[in-house]
Amino acid sequence: ENEASFVIGFTVTDGDGDKADGNLTLLIDDDTPTVLPTYDSVMTNNYRIISDDDTARDVTGNQGGNGDSGEWHKTGNLVGAFSAGADGGTVAWNAVNSSNESGDLTPGITFEIDPNTGSLSMFQQQGTEKVQIVEITMEDTTTGQYTYTQINNLLHVNDGQNTENDAKFLLGFTVTDGDGDKADGKLQLIIDDDTPTVVPYETNTMRIISDDDTVAGLNGNSGYGNNPSDGA
The pLDDT tens digits for 93-107 are 999 999 998 888 889
Q: Whole-angstrom Cα distance, residue 148 to residue 138?
A: 9
Coil/strand/helix, residue 109: strand
Residues 177-187, mean pLDDT to the nearest whole number: 83
Are 177 and 158 in contact by the 8 Å Cβ rule? The answer is no
- Contact by Cβ (8 Å): 173, 83: no
Q: Return d(Cα 6, Cα 23) in angstroms, integer.
A: 10
Q: Is the pLDDT of residue 41 over 50?
A: no
Q: What is the pLDDT of residue 42?
A: 38
| Spatial contact of 117 and 108, defined as CB atoms under 8 Å apart | no
pLDDT tops 80 at residue 223:
no
pLDDT of residue 44: 44
* Contacts for 187 with CB less than 8 Å, ≥ 6 apart: 47, 48, 49, 78, 81, 170, 171, 173
Least confident of 19-23, 207-211, 219-223: 219-223
pLDDT for res 68? 59
DSSP character at residue 150: E
pLDDT of residue 188: 86
- 4: CB partners within 8 A, 6+ apart: 27, 28, 30
Is the C-alpha dihedral spanning 150, 114, 145, 85 positive or negative? positive
DSSP label of 46: -
Rounded to an integer, the average pLDDT of 52-80 is: 66
The alpha carbon of 73 is separated from its chain's Cα centroid by a whole number of angstroms, namely: 10
Average pLDDT over residues 160-183: 81
Decide if pLDDT at 120 tops 90: yes
Q: Say what the pLDDT of residue 31 is.
A: 62
pTM: 0.69
% of the chain surpassing 70 pLDDT: 61
Q: Round the average pLDDT of the chain to a whole number and report it.
A: 76
The SS3 of residue 229 is: coil
| Partner residues linked to 13 by β-bridges | 19
52 — pLDDT class (breaks 50, 70, 90): low
Beta strand 182-192 with 166-177 is: antiparallel
